[in-house]
Amino acid sequence: SAVRRYFAGEFEMAGLRIVGLVGGSFGDPNDLALSFVMLIPLAYFMSGASQSSIGKLALWSILLALTLGVIAAQSRGGFLGLGLVLLLIVKQSHHRLAASVLLGVLLIVVVFLAPDGSFGRISSIADYEEDESAVGRLIAWKAGLRMFADNPAFGVGAGVFEVAYGQAYRPEGVRGKWIAPHSSYVQVLAETGLLGFICFLSIIVISIKHLWLARQSTAHEQNEQDLDRLVKLNKGITVGIWGFLACAAFLSQAYAWLFNITIALSIVVNRQIVEQVEFAHSVHRTSDTDHQTAG
């Protein structure tokens, strides 16, 4: 497994990234980092909901592995998403000082365990003009905006960005016939046009709004274990979506399966919270009626 190979030293550095005999469903370390960023807040908040010491330890171990994975992936977009996620975790926590200390300790451990050279590529964020991949992103973004300008309503077609770039939008003198959009927002705008872009943003905005409304509905409820677990899951999903939004600015992941699953999960969790709150209100009303009848 990847963990065993890491501690056995069976990885090597390809440039500034780790490579080795580890397989998986992700062919791009940037995409892997995005997935880890979305899962980190879930691991954190669910560790707070766990009533078992073993469960808490397991979830914190997962949290450590996910955070270390983002660093080892050498993804600058993933690193920015990680920073935003950690800040939002602290903001969403009831005990912010304790959360800050715990996450600070986590980062110290991650820095200690991270392979040599892990932060080299991340530190190049400020020197994007000298980075070939950053220049490629700018070329892709400009091409995507040209695609949108030529096809404002419906775009060039979902999944067709690379073909459209190679056939009609590659600037003269630029090597390489195919290039990814390198931004989910540019991807949606270029491939699906304004209508698709509005739908994409609407899904995100409505999901975040309903997550917030579901949490607000529990503000005056008693701290029951089941409801508390759902609220923490709600927070983890919310922060995970924000992490996706940060990473998605630099990755072509508009149609990512994990994002779609997260949106679907938010609907389920919100519905369960609403049902729990409605049930609690019905119990209170029944109790008040019984007291009035007895009086």
Q: What percent of the chain has pLDDT over 70?
A: 77
Highest mean pLDDT of the ranges 67-81, 105-119, 138-152, 271-285: 138-152
Lowest mean pLDDT among 43-52, 117-126, 239-248, 279-288: 117-126
Higher pLDDT, 32 or 198: 198
Mean pLDDT of the 150-159 span: 93
Residues 48, 6 contacting (CB under 8 angstroms):
no
pLDDT at 47 over 70: yes
Higher pLDDT, 222 or 105: 105
Lowest mean pLDDT among 164-168, 183-187, 243-247: 164-168
Tell me what pLDDT residue 212 has: 94
Tell me what pLDDT residue 74 has: 78
pLDDT, tens only, 238-282: 999 999 999 999 888 899 889 999 999 999 999 999 888 887 767
- Please give, one letter per residue, the 3-state secondary structure of the chain: CHHHHHHCCCCEEECCEEECCCCCCCCCHHHHHHHHHHHHHHHHHHHHHCCCHHHHHHHHHHHHHHHHHHHHCCCHHHHHHHHHHHHHHHHHCCCHHHHHHHHHHHHHHHHHHCCCCCCCCHHHHHHHHHCHHHHHHHHHHHHHHHHHHHCCCCCCCCCCHHHHHHHHHCCCCCCCCCCCCCCHHHHHHHHHHHHHHHHHHHHHHHHHHHHHHHHHCCCCCCCCHHHHHHHHHHHHHHHHHHHHHHHHCCCCCCCCHHHHHHHHHHHHHHHHHHHHHHHHHHHHHHHHHHHHHHC
Tell me what pLDDT residue 15 has: 47
Cα(201)–Cα(177) distance, integer angstroms: 30
Higher pLDDT, 18 or 150: 150
pLDDT, tens only, 58-104: 998 998 889 888 888 878 788 889 989 999 998 888 777 877 887 88
Tell me what pLDDT residue 27 has: 60
Domains in the chain: boundaries: 2-126+216-290
Mean pLDDT of the 118-145 span: 69
Cα(275)–Cα(218) distance, integer angstroms: 11
Q: How far is CA 291 from CA 29, 167, 222, 278, 288, in A?
A: 62, 76, 20, 20, 5
Q: What is the pTM of this model?
A: 0.81
Give the confidence band of 174 by pLDDT, cuts at 50, 70, 90. confident
Tell me what pLDDT residue 96 has: 76
Average pLDDT, the chain: 81
Give the confidence band of 1 by pLDDT, cuts at 50, 70, 90. very low
